[in-house]
A and B are shown apart, each in its own frame.
Chain A
């Protein structure tokens, strides 16, 4: 099954700045998914990233705030832009495994001060 390397694992950022999170997969995958997990909450899908096309965003998430890149079939980045304390969350990437399930990156714990 696919293995995902996600970085950074955590960061503390000043409000108004941006942070880019990277996910590298050890195999080629068609779709990569980006989730947000707010403190004590469930996982909410931000967007689906396909190689060669623009990401598809879920309701409540916009490209200007969460731009995504997908330059090839093994890599994707999510940027959290113009951050505020409300953006403090864990951000996770996910891919579908060969067995049909989904695996997750180790997550990025973001604190905005």
Chain B
């Protein structure tokens, strides 16, 4: 089955700096890659996603890049703000016989210091 590895597990930046979180996946049939932000005590919230026919997607301060050949994708947050502090999860949606299942990375605790 799919395996998603996420790095780093913790990331500490100063307000205004950029933050990058990286994920690799194992199943070449995976075709959808969302990123979720989870604040303490709350449900995961989708912040951006990308499909396998696209290499990059941007939404204001957040961007995601996908390298299908290398099977990795990354989340980029620019001009970080204290309210960006949360746990971020990447995920991959399986294709083939496992269609529809999301496999999550281990999570990254992002702390933005004012």
- Chain A residues proximal to chain B, CB less than 8 Å: 31, 33, 41-45, 48, 59, 92, 94, 96, 100-107
Residues of A with C-beta under 8 A to B100: 31, 33, 48, 96
Flag B101-114 by CB within 8 Å of A: 1 or 0 each: 11111110000000
B101 touching A42, Cβ below 8 Å: no
Residues of B with C-beta under 8 A to A104: 43-44
Known: A42-B89, A43-B89. A100 touches B46 (CB 8 A): no
When A and B form their complex, which 5 residue pairs have the shortest distance between CB atoms, in order from nearest? A104-B43, A43-B104, A42-B104, A42-B107, A42-B106
Residues of A with C-beta under 8 A to B43: 92, 104-107
Smallest CB separation, A4 vs chain B (Å): 9
For the complex, what is the distance from the CA of A74 to the CA of B104, rounded to whole Å? 25
B46 touching A103, Cβ below 8 Å: yes
Known: A43-B44, A107-B43. A102 touches B101 (CB 8 A): no
For the complex, what is the distance from the CA of A45 to the CA of B102, rounded to whole Å? 8
Residues of B with C-beta under 8 A to A42: 89, 104-107
- Chain B residues proximal to chain A, CB less than 8 Å: 1, 32, 34, 42-44, 46, 49, 51, 89, 100-107
For the complex, what is the distance from the CA of A55 to the CA of B100, rounded to whole Å? 14
For the complex, what is the distance from the CA of A106 to the CA of B44, rounded to whole Å? 9
With CB as the reference atom, state the residue of chain B lying closest to A1.
Answer: B46
With CB as the reference atom, state the residue of chain A lying closest to B109.
Answer: A40
Residues of A with C-beta under 8 A to B105: 42
